[in-house]
Amino acid sequence: MLVSMKEITQRAYEDNYCVIAPNVNWEIEARAAIEVAEEMRAPMILDFVYGCHPDIIFLGEILTKLAERASVPIAVNQDHGACMAHNIAAIRAGFTGIMVDRSLLSYDENVAQVKEMTSIAHSVGVGVEGELGHVGANDENADDSSLYTDPDQAKHYVDATGIDQLAISIGTAHGAYKGKPKLRFDILERIKETVEVPLVLHGSSGTGDDLLKKACELGINKMNIYTDLLTSAAREVQKMDLEKDFLLEFYPNLIKGFKRRLKEVVEFSGSAGKVWEAGGGILDRRIIFDEGEVKQSH
């Protein structure tokens, strides 16, 4: 069933577990992720980064339809929406949550832009994730303390913007790691004591299951992952003999590797078995932006 991003993360927050958010750029990845969610009876978030597919409206139709048909709670979320146009496109596409990522701006600009977009999203029932601090790429700046989330700013940021989830920076990085990650759990614990919204961890791939499990236990409620899933999928495909194997087995092997790693992550996240019954349905509408006005069609 398709659920709101806010509901799926709020339940994780209240019940002290972490819901996994695999990035899915194509239908095949989305189907694989939902299969894992159904097999493990786990709520799940399908994350999508604007620009990773040529048509967000078309992909949004696919993702939301797959989520509606699923037997477990599934949210569809835009990952790293870098500008208002990207965020509006995701809302038009039927996403039930958006990330308003202005983490590279100054603190005041970050607050102002996220607050504005949050007001728009909330007016049509879409939840918002904001980021304080910055998670870079390929761990080149993962140990730069200036990029870590400031626990003293976290509460003000949440209150000032009105966001529903807070993405924090504690030492992870997007993509493949070049070195061994060092997570600042002390920062996570201080933020957890300060704010009262679900916390999000980006850049989980390559961090190590022991560290990720501890992050979940200490209060991370949404964990994004993708590179690990692709690596596992690629390794499964590499086992094939392209001269002898039936090439139609390419995609089944790809899915096998993708699902194997995703199951491992769901297992230590604490989200397995955390499904709930539908409460009347949500977002049974299309959001239409027409000449600057927001309209809803049922």
Q: What is the CATH number of the domain that holds 48?
A: 3.20.20.70
| DSSP code, position 4 | -
Residue that has been written with the tokens 């299951």 in this structure: 209
> In the chain, what is the straight-line distance between the N-terminal and C-terminal CA atoms, in Å?
18
Asked if the structure places residue 274 within a domain, the reply is no
Maximum mean pLDDT: which of 127-131, 171-175, 286-290: 127-131
Q: What percent of the chain has pLDDT over 90?
A: 73
Report how far residue 147's alpha carbon sits from residue 141's, in angstroms, rounded to the nearest whole number.
Answer: 8
261 pLDDT band, cuts 50/70/90, is: very high
What are the φ/ψ torsions at residue 294 (nearest 5 degrees)? -95, 125
Q: pLDDT band at residue 296, thresholds of 50, 70 and 90? A: very low
| Token reading at 210 | 């022991």
Cα dihedral value 115, 121, 122, 125, nearest 10: -160
For 23, which DSSP code?
B
Catalytic residue among 47, 79, 139, 228: 79
* The pLDDT of residue 255 is above 70: yes
> Could you tell me if residue 290 is inside a domain?
no
In a domain, 40, yes or no: yes
Into how many domains does the chain fold?
A: 1
- Report the amino acid identity of residue 226: Y
Query: CA–CA separation, 64 vs 33, rounded Å?
Result: 13
Under a CB-based contact definition with an 8 Å cutoff, are residues 223 and 268 in contact? no
Structure tokens at 224: 């994004």
Flag whether 280 is in a domain: no
pLDDT band at 140 (very low <50, low <70, confident <90, very high): low
Q: Is residue 118 a contact partner of residue 157, using CB atoms and an 8 Å limit?
A: no
d(C-alpha 137, C-alpha 129), whole Å: 19
pTM: 0.89
What domain range includes position 149?
A: 5-269
* Residue 282, pLDDT score: 52
In a domain, 292, yes or no: no
Residue 284 has a pLDDT of 44
Residue 26 above 70 pLDDT?
yes
Alpha-carbon span 45 to 22, nearest angstrom? 7
Within-domain flag for 291: no
DSSP state of 54: S
- Residue 212 lies inside a defined structural domain of this protein: yes
The residue type at 36: V
Q: What are the tokens at 9? A: 């993360």
Helix, strand, coil distribution of the chain in percent, nearest 5: 45, 20, 35
Query: Which residues have a Cβ under 8 Å from the Cβ of 207 and sit 6 or more positions away?
Result: 172, 177, 181, 183
Please check the confidence at residue 96 and state whether its pLDDT lies above 70. Answer: yes
Could you confirm whether 290 is annotated as catalytic?
A: no
Domain membership of residue 293 (yes or no) is no
DSSP state of 174: B
